[in-house]
Structure 1
Amino acid sequence: MILNKGTYIWFLFYTVTLVFVTVQFIEVTAVQTFDYLMFEELLIRPQKLLFNTTLFFVLFLYVTRKEFLNPLLVSRYTKKLPIKMITYGILISAVFVISTLTVLLSVVFAKGLAIELNLSLIAPLLKFILYCLFVYMTYAVVYLMTNKKIPSLFINIVISFVLLITYHGIVFFTYMTDDSVLIKAYWTTLSFVTPILMYFIYYIGKRKEILN
């Protein structure tokens, strides 16, 4: 992972924003315990996930981007490009998730809330990791196909906004009071799509001219 001035600025901005959002949530809801429900409300709900998380994670990918397809650096990745791109995606997603948890738990501790860490937290945590992997793998596939980093990152914002608008549209026009079916369908789809994207990274990467 690349640590530079942009990375530190991003981390400061992300920390300040996440602290503010978390403090506001605690004060408005008067919640007394940090548990899987609080985690879901702060990070997993559609509005938070498809808007807040997408923007910050895409920015994180931008400031930590690697020049995988730079001809001057190709020799480092010969015959290993797909694997390196996939493992880097896993690493960068893990760093983002750990950073998020660290900030959240720090705020919770500072506010004096009880912390309930149990098996119930595993499911939303895995969802959060899965979403980060999906965003990165989407970026990586488009990057391999176009060799353009900015459009490859921007496509994630477009996808997220389309999904968010679709979600709100369905809920509004069908007078839906329980969105659990939509949410379940989304995560089920994501669990299938993300491995497929990883396969495409491997398939396309192996056939790039720079690997021949």
Structure 2
Amino acid sequence: MTTSIADLRKSYERAELNEDASHAAPLQQFDQWLKEAIASEVPEPNAMTVATVGSDLRPSTRVVLIKGYDERGIVWFTNYDSRKGRQIAGNPYVALQFHWVELERVVRIEGIVEKVSDAESDEYFASRPLDSRIGAWASPQSQVISGRGVLVANAAKYGAQFMLKPPRPPHWGGYRLQPDQWEFWQGRKSRLHDRLRYRQDGGAWVRERLAP
């Protein structure tokens, strides 16, 4: 018997999120939740959705991996010539989302994006596995290609050219999102979910509850 998608439901009852138990600073709250996701061994706790908007005003999303975070913002690395890279170049306002299904939690982050320094991109690129470094050269990300053979041929070409020491491609590096708004969502019973938003006001973070 086929189950209707409209009938798929789940009762969220694992935890709660209230003002008294949450941190006054959103970065501290994020740090706690991310560490709990890692400790809980949820699948790919570092995976986040990146949403950008192009010049045609059409939004697009994709999943990338967070590679760092501190008071300056959230960092990830990618191909600057990709669709997201081109969209960020035209519109630096970006939204991120983490969804830890097993913990019934979502974190949404909004802000403006800038490239990290060349030194920071170089340092991270050098730490990547060799195949990933070659892959950064081999893939013309987001471009139409005739088949997978193009990637295989490119990987062989750049592998032979650079051997064990491929440099960082000029079109590849890091982005840092500087948050101006965070939202922490904790699933609750009867769809009365907990939502705490942090927004900047005069250089300080204001924490407020949103209705679910």
Q: Which has the higher helix share?
A: 1
Q: Which has the larger radius of gyration?
A: 2
Q: Relative contact order (alpha carbons < 8 A, sep ≥ 6): 1 or 2 greater?
A: 1
**Whose strand proportion is higher, 1 or 2?**
2
Name the TM-score, length of structure 2 as normaliser: 0.23
Q: What TM-score, normalized to structure 1?
A: 0.23
